[in-house]
Copies of this chain bind each other. A is one copy, B any other.
């Protein structure tokens, strides 16, 4: 018992101050989700491995946390298995894993409950996910996702609504953001027009890095991935489109005129941009032809949000997928969704000092403990304060005042109330403002008015 116990690698405890900040973020997102008509669901932490495996690529399968079958997990395991692949043994030992994201469990939910669900279904979900990734700065093995999706509707009004929703969340959090848009069909049109339709994935994987490594390195990578010089030089002007978002859309439309798919992508973007700008938003709206975000997944609009006033990758992302539930045998359900990155938003708010004052404190007034009689009277006043909605406490132990005041300071309690012998006699409370040091005497029967006003 000598060594201090610890949280497992890559996981964290959240103390009271961190929790108040995290709740500020989650409550803001939750309120906006509800205001926009999204309805909350929760799914279990564990899913059958058959639900999870093969949905995140080979790399993703390796990052699943698997749960050991209990009881008779030894049954039928022979030593021959040990000489095989680790994966084969794991398959015998484990039937379940921890969820890796909220999207696959949501797809499973829609298929499992399809008889009870009325489409379109607008759901939100705020829950932790687990990935057996190598932990590093800002990357954890347990973290929360905050997802909103609409399934069962292919109307672009859903995209417009999600962009407004993103704008509203960051307006409330006071984070200035740029929302970048793209469309999978635009990427397909580009690949088609430069004569490399089969290299769509190579092209997008490479150009997705343009912000990080610059256009020259991207072109080197394209060459390494087998694109001809002609294709690369045809691609160049498409990546260099500039101007306002409407100018960019016009130029892109001209460049993609020869591709029906590309054209449709531009038209979809134009509708989303026009409708969103007509309604007005605080965020900047950008067109970013290099934006891909897990291309194999999205089939239409692609969305990514970055904070303007601090460096911090993507803090929200999403897009349209045309076949979410197809993996579970229910084809033809289109959806569009977004996911807020709570951990990064947490860091952005900290870096920009945007947390509201007083978040960390919960109790407004702590009553000192001067012994049994004082404590009993204090408990009566505290009961009246709580009934009026004022968070209040009596210090439980009769110890030195210094320790009691230290407790109030530590918990950021703004007022310290004292009922000593003199106060008991006068039926008054001495209330100390912890910030200014100012002391006021309040009659017992005036204490609720003093704090509840």
Contact = CB atoms under 8 A, between A and B. Distances in A.
B275 A111 contact: no
A208 interface: no
A130 B86 contact: no
A329 B1 contact: yes
Interface string A155-173: 1011011001000100000
Interface stretch (A242-250, A292-300, A405-413, A418-426): A405-413
Contact of A74 (B89, B120, B150, B407): B89
Given A5-B50, A45-B45, A327-B1, A411 B39 contact: yes
A95 to B, nearest CB: 7
A29 to B, nearest CB: 14
A164 B383 contact: yes
A6 B50 CA distance: 10
A167 to B, nearest CB: 10
Contacts of A327: 1
A6 B48 contact: yes
Contacts of A78: 82
Contact of A153 (B70, B164, B366, B397): B397
B397 A155 contact: yes
Nearest to A40: B19
Contacts of A93: 68, 93
Interface in A43-83: 43-48, 50-51, 62-63, 65-68, 70-74, 77-79, 82
B407 A118 contact: yes
A393 interface: yes
B43 A13 contact: yes
Nearest to A2: B329
Interface string A7-49: 1100111111001101100000000001111111111111110
Contacts of A120: 396-397, 407
B142 A8 contact: no
19 contacts: A1-B329, A5-B108, A5-B112, A5-B328, A8-B48, A11-B44, A13-B42, A13-B112, A14-B42, A15-B41, A34-B362, A38-B362, A46-B130, A62-B71, A68-B93, A93-B93, A120-B396, A153-B397, A161-B379
Given A5-B50, A13-B112, A161-B394, 20 more contacts: A5-B48, A11-B44, A15-B116, A16-B41, A34-B362, A35-B391, A37-B393, A45-B128, A62-B70, A62-B71, A65-B68, A68-B93, A70-B132, A78-B82, A150-B396, A161-B379, A161-B396, A275-B376, A278-B376, A279-B379
